[in-house]
Structure 1
Amino acid sequence: MAARASGGGRWEVVKKGRRPAAGSSNRGGGKGDRRALGEANGVWKFDLTPPIQTTSTLYELGFEKIMKRQNKEQVPPPAVEPKKPGNKKQPKKVSTVTNQNQKQGRFRSLEAALKALDVAALQKELDKSQSVFSGNPSVWLKDLASYLNYKLQAPLSEPTLSQHTHDYPYSLVSQELRRIIRGLLVKAAGSLELFFDHCLFTMLQELDKTPGESLHGYRICIQAILQEKPKIATMNLGKFLELLRSHQSRPAKCLTIMWAMGQAGFASLTEGLKVWLGIMMPVLGIKSLSPFAIAYLDRLLLMHPNLTKGFGMIGPKDFFPLLDFAYMPNNSLTPSVQEHLCQLYPRLKVLGFGAKPESTLHTFFPSFLSRATPSCPSEMKKELLSSLTECLTVDPLSASVWRQLYPKHLSQSSLLLDHLLKSQDRMPKKVWKSLRETIQSFRLTNQELQRKSNSNNQDVVTCDKACKALLQQAWGPRLPWTRLLLLVLVFAIGFLCHDFRSHGSFQASLSGQLLQSSGFLPAGQQVCAKLYSYGLQGYSWLEETLPAWGSHLLTMVRPSLQLAWTHTNATVSFLSAHCTSHLAWFGDTFTSFSQRSQLPDALSQLLQSLKELLLLLYHNMLLPLWHLLLEGLAQAQEHCHEACRGEVTWDCVKTQLSEAARWTWTCLQDITVALLDWALAMVSQQ
């Protein structure tokens, strides 16, 4: 209720910072001055603010801060206290105010803040929020994010957290806290998209405040959401791209948006490429944002070395701007960032070509060809020509695309033709066969263009020269050297055999007479004689030296060999004795075990089948082979006895071996002569 002042009789407007002075009638006296001074120094304090309304939810307690508004309030002037006798002192009223919204103090590090976090208290507050707002899961999630961000006040860090691992700060969260967060996310699965937007927009609002809070709580919630459901970040990329462009003048906000969206890529390569192509690639021209975009792409490809999961994400529309950024000089990228992108280009090329390059490369061919101009940088020209060659080699449809583009891309085609001429040895023959028709059609096109144009076009002339050189070198007449050498060898052998057979001997043959008259035959005979004499000398030296050295070596080694043989025999005897006893014990044990325990039917049938198989192999294969071997040895022994007339000596064995070798050589000669006759007959028929 309003009360009127006895002195003024009207309402007063009390502004912020202004206090009505009690006892204003004594302003001129000393005692009144002292009382006013005491009030100014805070001896008398009155808490005129209304008490905070009690509530049972975290969200209304103020964990999510709202912008304060300063409004003027009209309040009635306080009633003037009645004057009391001067000899009585006025009692001092001191009121203690409890600030329920006292801010959480900052910790030295996020690790310390997480260690000090009371997980039980968090669970209690979340249970209370779920009981009060049982039908509103978004309130539960907002309470979680607000509580975590309020409690985890640590030193501020740069927006991209580039000095930490990719999963920081979520990697510091304990297993118990992760269980609570995941459980709440499962309960509120239908509100996760709105919760992601809430966390991101709240982070952007905090960045507008000068002493803004640290955003670790919201970052943890974003990482927890996108680790479970990374598709939430890519459901509406256009909205976030528009948000990013609206804050283009604020790099900190842009980097925060890019960091939040990029967390989806660490759980899925497909979603990460969607985020990079839809959010980060459009801002490559901004110098303050492009380093983080390239660094994120590098980290994404390192975390997912299996690029097959990203096939189909990068098409020609996205691939060729990346090619221009990587190789074109004087673009908006700094030299270091451009070099970093060049290092990533081979993997981007694999992603762009996809799982079936043999059916997709012809779609890349036009853009490659249009960029391969004579004035393009050397590194880019090298990459373009290599890619064009790969297109022609892998995808057969690229040649037909080239034929369609040829009349309007003569300068580019001349470069490609020269490159093909230089690299013809490295291309497979199958590709050259398919390119032959293409080059011939280019020659016809060149003739038509020369007839239509009044003056000679330099590009047409260059292309025509390249086509002629390519046709001459790649498909010109070549001698089949392998076939010619084989044919000459066959004729030479046939001539020699016919010459020897017709003249009866080598000396009477034309070849022998020719070699004799030219001096090659005497020289060859001398060489053979010398080799034979040297061989005899070596053999005689071995006959004299080897027995003496052998006897000496045997004398030196025999005691050691005898001792080793004795120890080996003793060891084998000991092992055989013990192994026999152990094997007998094992056999008895296994027999008793098999009798006691009943094996499964399948196992017993398997053992029985294995036993029958081994018996079958023994009776039908091993035993007959052993009998055949014994019979062969017996026949060989009988043959040796018959040939040696009852006494088998080493000289007799050498004689038999030499006869067997002579018989084998004769058979080989007969077979060779028969083959040569057949070859000569085939040649004469042709």
Structure 2
Amino acid sequence: MRRKSASGSALRFRRISQRDPGRRGPGEILPCFGGCGRGAGGPPGPYKQRLWGRPFLLSPPFLEILLFSPQLDLSELQKQLEKSQSLFPENPSVWVKDMAGYLNYKLQAPKSDPTLSQHPHDYPYCLVSKDLRTIIKSLLSKAGGVLELFFDHCIYTMLQELDKTPGESLHGYRICIQALLVDKPKVATANLSKYLELLRCHHNRTPKCLTIMWALGQAGFADLTEGLKVWLGIMLPVLGLKSLSPFAITYLDRLLMMHPNLTKGFGMIGPKDFFPLLDFAFMPNNSLSPSLQEQLQQLYPRLKVLAFGAKPEATLHTYFPSFLSRTTPNCPTGMRKELLSCLMECLTLDPLSFSVWRQLYIKHLSQSSLLLNHYLETWDSTSKKVRKSLQETVHLFKVTNDELAAKGPSSAEDVAACRAACQSLLLKMKAGGPPWPRLALVLLVFIAGFLMHDVRTHGSFQASASARVLRSCGILPASQQAWNTVSHLSMEGYSWLEAKAPLCYTRVTSTLAPNLELAWAKMLEMAADLSGKCSAQLVWLSDHLPRFTEWLQARVPEFVLCGAEYLKELLLFLMKNCFLPAVDYLAAALEGAWQRWADSCDGEGSWECLRTQLTSLILSSWGYLQDTPGMIKDWASGILSGH
């Protein structure tokens, strides 16, 4: 009986005053969806709304909604809702259903596509006035236990209206769905399997499928997690269908654009969801059109961030097997490039990926040869940590290759390709760059050994050949004089400190100790006072610091990569324009100096000529240094005399 009465109550709304829609009665207002500014009636001029943060003027269909829809009297709506609550005080589902039926009957608008693709994401709820929003939310708060049933009612009623020949605009039900999911988005995701089955039942009715997808998708605009649940549970299974794929990808684009902070979506996309997306994005000749595939490729980097999560170093080894199995020689170029990049990322960030690779090596020889050759091509950019792990892995692969080659001709081509790649990598590892630290150490040990042998042979350093060479060049007397000077000055300084330091310490402590103690006490008082006054700010900081940390973790990698790219460009610029010209100039200068020295020695590189040249250079430098203080003194005297 209550169900019948509820239906009668909803039908009563269709029989309310059938006056001319363009006329206004006393106390009645037009449905200004979102507040029209002046008064309760229609807008005085072109109505402005915001789409993606940008203002735009409403098109004629929008204005037709505002100015030529059936008249909506909020007081009459309030009376009807109060009457419904008085008739069915213990059945809140009747209240909300009556409200939805009344709004849908009153708020008529020109028909549009089921997804409202030409409107903002929150249309038509964005045009609802503040008073009407208050009424809707107040009633929904009273019906907290039946909200899932009400959501089902709105969707099923919209599907029934689509079967009718003229039908209604469904704006009332859309407004109720949006008002409900803005505050409680989990209502839409409570039973997604039921809606997926409903979607499959209506697979040959595109408007109905799009209506279901639109209604469920409203949950994502309030919560990224719920939006991803809807997309993965409802839209991904139908991504290959020609009629539904455009809305699925457009919704995903809008969802990720509205939630730039992807940290809230970590953990939602797993390997079973990620790899179908990878295939759709990069495999040619799939069920997506080229334009949709290109749009999905643009969204793919953000989907990969969501899939890898907050700690890729602990999860990437679970993605490695699927990446490796897809990296075949017949794989398309774009797909292969992305797969190799992902495999290298797994091996770089998650060390467990190497152990997974070793276990899968025998069953994936052709894929492993591609990965090994890719490492061979990008060896210079590989980090030292990865090189060490890769070296151990390649040695194990080499042993495995020898065993496979000894067993027989099965997979001979793949084994040969892997053997060649492993051999090239091992040669690359052995070659490396010049071991400058080792060479310097060997040279230092050689010089020390030579000096020790020379001193031991001649009995003392003064009698050794090394001392004679240094003495003939003039280096030994100069170094001995410098050492004597440094030793004398050091002894004088130590004697002065030994005599003056205790006296200075006593004076400083007697003078500054009281002031320092007072300053320390004041500092402690100020710190205590400051902590008491800033306790609220400290609590706020402790509450918001985790959010800031999440934001920083989500964005820092991009900044770091950009900074590294800019640093690379700067180093290349300096290498090309500064370092290489400087090296050429230095080489030319050394060659010229060598030629001048050879000419001065008549082509004979004897020790006597070298000693003469070094002595001349030292004397000229010493004379220049002696003249420099006099020049500075004359310059300063000239400036002072001028003033």
User: Of 187, 196, 203, which residue of structure 1 is paired with 2:158?
Assistant: 203
1:509 aligns to what? 468
CA distance in 2, matches of 1:263, 1:139: 23
3-state DSSP of counterpart to 1:212: coil
Q: What is the Cα deviation at residue 480 of structure 1?
A: 3.5
User: Of 611, 619, 633, which residue of structure 2 is paired with 1:543?
Assistant: 633
Q: What is the Cα deviation at residue 58 of structure 1?
A: 8.6
Contact kept, 8 Å, 1:446 with 1:460, in 2: the verdict is: yes
Q: Deviations over 1:361-384 (max 9, x none)?
A: 222111101110112111211110
Please tell me the residue identity of whatever aligns with 1:551.
S
Please state if 1:156 is matched with 2:246: no
Please state if 1:102 is matched with 2:18: yes
User: Of 421, 427, 442, which residue of structure 1 is paired with 2:376?
Assistant: 421
CA distance in 1, matches of 2:466, 2:315: 71
Q: What is the Cα deviation at residue 272 of structure 1?
A: 0.8
1:527 aligns to what? 617
Show the 5 A alignment for 1:438-449: 438-449=393-404
CA distance in 1, matches of 2:297, 2:332: 14
CA distance in 2, matches of 1:183, 1:252: 32
Show the 5 A alignment for 1:13-52: none
430 and 238 in structure 1: CA distance in 2 versus 1, 3 angstrom threshold: same
Contact kept, 8 Å, 1:58 with 1:147, in 2: the verdict is: no
Q: Deviations over 1:47-89 (max 9, x none)?
A: xxxxxxxx99795362677xxxxxxxxxxxxxxxxxxxxxxxx
TM-score under structure 2 length normalisation:
0.66
CA distance in 1, matches of 2:80, 2:288: 49
Please tell me the residue identity of whatever aligns with 2:248.
A
3-state DSSP of counterpart to 1:375: coil
Q: What is the Cα deviation at residue 262 of structure 1?
A: 0.3
Please state if 1:246 is matched with 2:201: yes
Structure ranking higher in helix proportion: 2
CA distance in 1, matches of 2:624, 2:175: 90
63 and 208 in structure 1: CA distance in 2 versus 1, 3 angstrom threshold: farther
CA distance in 2, matches of 1:100, 1:316: 55
User: Of 145, 150, 153, which residue of structure 2 is paired with 1:190?
Assistant: 145
User: Of 412, 417, 422, which residue of structure 2 is paired with 1:457?
Assistant: 412
2:260 aligns to what? 305
Q: Deviations over 1:306-351 (max 9, x none)?
A: 2222222111111100000010111111222111111111111111
Q: What is the Cα deviation at residue 504 of structure 1?
A: 7.9
Please tell me the residue identity of whatever aligns with 1:525.
T
User: Of 182, 188, 194, which residue of structure 2 is paired with 1:227?
Assistant: 182
Please tell me the residue identity of whatever aligns with 2:105.
Y
2:93 aligns to what? 138
Q: What is the Cα deviation at residue 265 of structure 1?
A: 0.9
CA distance in 2, matches of 1:313, 1:416: 29
Please tell me the residue identity of whatever aligns with 1:129.
S
Please state if 1:359 is matched with 2:275: no
Please tell me the residue identity of whatever aligns with 2:470.
S
CA distance in 2, matches of 1:507, 1:536: 31
233 and 518 in structure 1: CA distance in 2 versus 1, 3 angstrom threshold: farther
Contact kept, 8 Å, 1:104 with 1:150, in 2: the verdict is: no
Q: What is the Cα deviation at residue 161 of structure 1?
A: 2.1
111 and 524 in structure 1: CA distance in 2 versus 1, 3 angstrom threshold: farther
Contact kept, 8 Å, 1:262 with 1:276, in 2: the verdict is: yes
1:60 aligns to what? 9
2:568 aligns to what? none
Q: Deviations over 1:156-175 (max 9, x none)?
A: 33222223322222122222
455 and 336 in structure 1: CA distance in 2 versus 1, 3 angstrom threshold: closer
Q: Deviations over 1:386-441 (max 9, x none)?
A: 11112122222222222222222111110011112223333333333333343222
Please tell me the residue identity of whatever aligns with 2:124.
P
Contact kept, 8 Å, 2:10 with 2:102, in 1: the verdict is: no
Show the 5 A alignment for 1:310-459: 310-454=265-409, 457-459=412-414
CA distance in 1, matches of 2:430, 2:66: 72
Contact kept, 8 Å, 2:10 with 2:98, in 1: the verdict is: no
64 and 495 in structure 1: CA distance in 2 versus 1, 3 angstrom threshold: farther
Please state if 1:293 is matched with 2:293: no
Contact kept, 8 Å, 1:57 with 1:132, in 2: the verdict is: no
327 and 350 in structure 1: CA distance in 2 versus 1, 3 angstrom threshold: same
3-state DSSP of counterpart to 1:484: helix
3-state DSSP of counterpart to 1:234: coil
407 and 382 in structure 1: CA distance in 2 versus 1, 3 angstrom threshold: same
CA distance in 1, matches of 2:409, 2:465: 76
1:623 aligns to what? none
2:593 aligns to what? none
1:35 aligns to what? none
- Residue-pair matches, total: 466
CA distance in 2, matches of 1:309, 1:326: 24
CA distance in 2, matches of 1:327, 1:64: 53
Show the 5 A alignment for 1:606-621: none
CA distance in 2, matches of 1:116, 1:207: 24
Q: What is the Cα deviation at residue 298 of structure 1?
A: 1.5
Q: Deviations over 1:14-45 (max 9, x none)?
A: xxxxxxxxxxxxxxxxxxxxxxxxxxxxxxxx
Q: What is the Cα deviation at residue 278 of structure 1?
A: 0.9
3-state DSSP of counterpart to 1:235: coil
297 and 543 in structure 1: CA distance in 2 versus 1, 3 angstrom threshold: same
CA distance in 1, matches of 2:199, 2:631: 96
1:124 aligns to what? 79
Q: What is the Cα deviation at residue 284 of structure 1?
A: 1.2
Structure 1 unaligned spans of 5+: 1-54, 66-98, 555-686
2:428 aligns to what? 473
2:591 aligns to what? none
Contact kept, 8 Å, 2:473 with 2:615, in 1: the verdict is: no
Show the 5 A alignment for 1:574-585: none
Q: What is the Cα deviation at residue 281 of structure 1?
A: 0.8
3-state DSSP of counterpart to 1:153: coil
1:604 aligns to what? none
CA distance in 2, matches of 1:478, 1:518: 39
61 and 460 in structure 1: CA distance in 2 versus 1, 3 angstrom threshold: closer
Q: What is the Cα deviation at residue 221 of structure 1?
A: 0.2
Identity of aligned residues (%): 61
CA distance in 1, matches of 2:323, 2:462: 72
- Which range moves more in the overlay, 290-299 or 352-361? 352-361
CA distance in 2, matches of 1:259, 1:183: 24
3-state DSSP of counterpart to 2:188: helix
478 and 243 in structure 1: CA distance in 2 versus 1, 3 angstrom threshold: same
Show the 5 A alignment for 1:251-270: 251-270=206-225
CA distance in 1, matches of 2:7, 2:79: 11
Contact kept, 8 Å, 1:276 with 1:297, in 2: the verdict is: yes
156 and 322 in structure 1: CA distance in 2 versus 1, 3 angstrom threshold: same
233 and 63 in structure 1: CA distance in 2 versus 1, 3 angstrom threshold: farther
Show the 5 A alignment for 1:555-566: none
Structure 2 unaligned spans of 5+: 23-29, 31-62, 475-605
Contact kept, 8 Å, 1:58 with 1:129, in 2: the verdict is: no
